[in-house]
Amino acid sequence: MVTDFLIIGSGIAGLSLALKLSEFGKVLIITKKQKAESNTNYAQGGIASVLGKDDNFELHIKDTLGCGAGLCDREAVEKIVREGPTRINELIEYGVRFSKEKGLFMLGKEGGHSRSRIVHAKDLTGKEIERALLYDISRNKNIKIIEYYFAIDFLTERNIRSARKGKTAKKKCFGIYALDAKKEKVMKIVSQKTILATGGLGQVYLHTTNPAIATGDGFAMAYRAGCELDNMEFVQFHPTSFYEKDVEDDTQVFLISEAVRGAGAVLRKKDGKEFMHKYDKRKSLAPRDIVARAIDNELKKSGEAFVYLDLSAIGAERIKDRFPNIYETCLKKGIDITKEMIPVVPAAHYACGGVKTDLNGKTNIENLFACGEVAMTGVHGANRLASNSLLEAVVFSDSIYKYMKSNLDEIKKKEFLTKTELDKLYNKIYDWDDSGTKNTDEWILISHNKHEIKEVMSDYVGIVRNTYRLQRALTRIKMMKKEIKEFYNRTKVTVELLELRNLITVANIIIKSALNRKESRGLHYMLDYPARDDKNFSKDTVLVKKNKPGKK
């Protein structure tokens, strides 16, 4: 397989970019499951953008920087905020139907925002975006999308016969090895430009709002190829996921959107008392790091398994109209949210760090770009502001397009290979060699290891951390990493095995990054480095607000 542009992933980042790049050549999208399956598909709250009369760019910039606790890149933040309204209009042109009232966008409010600025499609924003983008893609002759293709590793010099492989050679990406999961065959895909848009890594934890596809594949592939990754310690826990007593591996816990709190719902303890006023003056609408840690603190103090979200201030009719999906799903789970409170707990939700890119979406490897959740553009810093993720994804995929557009002549002349050269390159790339490997009959090893990784990450690398716990986690992960590597080397690849290899890689990176950051900041809360004692957090969970800049 040979293509001009290879996009890995069919979420908002990959799909919106594909539609644009199709202007310049053939686009191939590969995706590991059905095409709509992605984090995007489950997005509820919406997209943050300055559209209200009482709002302005400076306020959105200030809220984003404040939430990111001193680690955001101001230029990147300004970019997403200022381009927001244009990208929202573009989504509407693609056919996305956002909720309106009297001809104007209905703007929701979420934690950390000083204004109502979240455009949404009821509480099914992501599904509506996927529907519209996939429909446009189905009508575009320059775009091909292949399902059940799993990207394994990037093709670089080391995969090419007689290529210069010395340390001084600049790394280039020529495409990927991908597993055709249906045919159980590994294919080479050679591309002029490759774009990584593989989304998040929530499945490295036991409780996550992310679907089963979110096993951090893109982060792990990039790391193995020599990409720079940054800020990987900042894993965001969403404060309010529906509490489930027992959660099986690969489960996606159900999110209760922050927009519900934006509409007036409040957090309460089992005894019915509110508690968020003790932690932040914004109460239940404080940024996520503060709310999640406050809930964690309350649960540790009380020994309870969950807190409650009380929607009574919203009113039954409005609940059903504004949050139909949350209403129906909770009803199926036995809770009528127009009458009863929802039991909620924090769950792993979003990777603020990732593959480092510049403002054009370029990574440090030639011909390789990244956008969406897998990328670290500098927007989110130590904690992402609610509903800034979909915004970042559309803005930065557009940046890749704009970069290609403004340099197209030069790129085509200097960087694109001719058809003959591409075919020649294809033949020079080693075929996937799995000689000496066997089909596995040790499924138990894969499932046990996966569970253990999730347990270690949840127990020791969660909302509240300390050096001792992180080191303990690292020791265990290192042992498993060795075992998984040996197993991988002697076994024919399957999706399950590839995901396990990526999960252990990502766990290892998160822990090492967490150990490197010797301070508490944003989502990375370290008991050993408290900056400020807050009387309302028990000793075990001291709240840290602003801290001096630390090692990045």
Q: What are phi and psi of 90, to 5 degrees?
A: -65, -40
What's the min distance (Å) between Cβ of 257 and ligand SIN? 3
Contact call for residue 125 and ligand FAD (CB under 6 A):
yes
Residue 288, C-beta contacts closer than 8 angstroms, at least 6 positions apart? 111, 112, 236, 237, 238, 239, 258, 349, 383, 384, 386, 523
Contact call for residue 156 and ligand SIN (CB under 6 A):
no
Is 30:189 a contact under the CB 8 Å cutoff? Answer: yes
Q: Which of 3, 39, 236, 383 binds ligand FAD (CB under 6 A)?
A: 39
Nearer to ligand FAD by Cβ, of 179 and 341: the residue is 179
Contact call for residue 387 and ligand SIN (CB under 6 A):
yes
Q: What are phi and psi of 386, to 5 degrees?
A: -50, 140
Give the binding range for ligand SIN (CB under 6 A) out of 175-183, 266-274, 384-392, 418-426. Answer: 384-392
Residue 468 DSSP SS3:
helix
Q: What are phi and psi of 195, to 5 degrees?
A: -125, 125
Nearer to ligand SIN by Cβ, of 386 and 456: the residue is 386
Q: Which of 5, 19, 22, 40 binds ligand FAD (CB under 6 A)?
A: 40
Nearer to ligand SIN by Cβ, of 318 and 472: the residue is 318
What's the min distance (Å) between Cβ of 278 and ligand FAD? 27
What's the min distance (Å) between Cβ of 389 and ligand SIN? 5
What's the min distance (Å) between Cβ of 195 and ligand FAD? 11
Its sign, for the CA torsion 211, 506, 63, 97, is negative
> What's the token pair of residue 529?
């480095």
Contact call for residue 480 and ligand FAD (CB under 6 A):
no
Contact call for residue 367 and ligand FAD (CB under 6 A):
no
Contact call for residue 348 and ligand FAD (CB under 6 A):
no
Question: Distance from first CA to last CA of the chain, Å, rounded?
Answer: 40
Contact call for residue 255 and ligand FAD (CB under 6 A):
yes
| CB-closest chain residue to ligand SIN | 45
Nearer to ligand SIN by Cβ, of 45 and 68: the residue is 45
Nearer to ligand FAD by Cβ, of 276 and 352: the residue is 352
Helix axes 217-225, 495-516, angle to 10 degrees: 70
Nearest to 470, CA basis, from 416, 518, 438: 518
Q: What is the pattern of x (binds ligand FAD, CB under 6 A) and - over residues 175-214?
A: ----------------------xxxx--------xx--x-
Nearer to ligand SIN by Cβ, of 176 and 386: the residue is 386
Q: Which amino acid is at 163?
A: A
Active-site positions read 288
Residue 332 DSSP SS3:
helix
Rounded to whole angstroms, the Cα distance separating 23 from 14 reads 15
Contact call for residue 346 and ligand FAD (CB under 6 A):
no
| Residue ranges in 248-388 assigned as alpha helix (H) | 258-262, 288-302, 316-322, 324-332
Contact call for residue 33 and ligand FAD (CB under 6 A):
yes
In a 13 Å sphere around the CA of 193, the CA atoms on its Cβ side amount to: 27
Its sign, for the CA torsion 71, 76, 81, 82, is positive
Nearer to ligand SIN by Cβ, of 16 and 388: the residue is 388
Nearer to ligand FAD by Cβ, of 66 and 550: the residue is 66
Contact call for residue 385 and ligand FAD (CB under 6 A):
no
91-129: b or e for each residue (b if 16 or more CB lie within 10 Å)? Answer: beebebebbeeeeebbbbbbbbbebbbbbbbbbbbbbbb
What's the min distance (Å) between Cβ of 209 and ligand SIN? 8
What's the min distance (Å) between Cβ of 121 and ligand SIN? 12
Nearer to ligand FAD by Cβ, of 122 and 469: the residue is 122
What's the min distance (Å) between Cβ of 181 and ligand SIN? 29
> Restricting to residues 108-127, which ones interact with ligand SIN according to CB under 6 A?
none
Residue 269, C-beta contacts closer than 8 angstroms, at least 6 positions apart? 275, 298, 302, 304, 307, 308
Give the pairing of strands 104-105 and 100-101.
Answer: antiparallel
Give the binding range for ligand SIN (CB under 6 A) out of 50-58, 256-264, 422-430, 480-488. Answer: 256-264
Q: Which of 28, 227, 386, 456 binds ligand SIN (CB under 6 A)?
A: 386
- Residues that bind ligand SIN (rule: CB under 6 A) add up to a total of 9
Rounded to whole angstroms, the Cα distance separating 472 from 511 reads 10
Contact call for residue 99 and ligand SIN (CB under 6 A):
no
Residue 325 β-bridge partners = none
Is 349:209 a contact under the CB 8 Å cutoff? Answer: yes
Is 263:214 a contact under the CB 8 Å cutoff? Answer: no
What's the min distance (Å) between Cβ of 209 and ligand FAD? 4
What's the min distance (Å) between Cβ of 125 and ligand SIN? 8
Contact call for residue 44 and ligand SIN (CB under 6 A):
yes
Give the pairing of strands 266-268 and 307-310.
Answer: antiparallel
Question: Contact positions toward ligand FAD, by CB under 6 A?
Answer: 8-14, 30-33, 37-40, 42-47, 125-126, 150-151, 197-200, 209-210, 213, 217-218, 255, 350, 372-373, 387-390, 393
Contacts with ligand SIN, residue ranges (CB under 6 A): 44-45, 257-259, 350, 386-387, 389
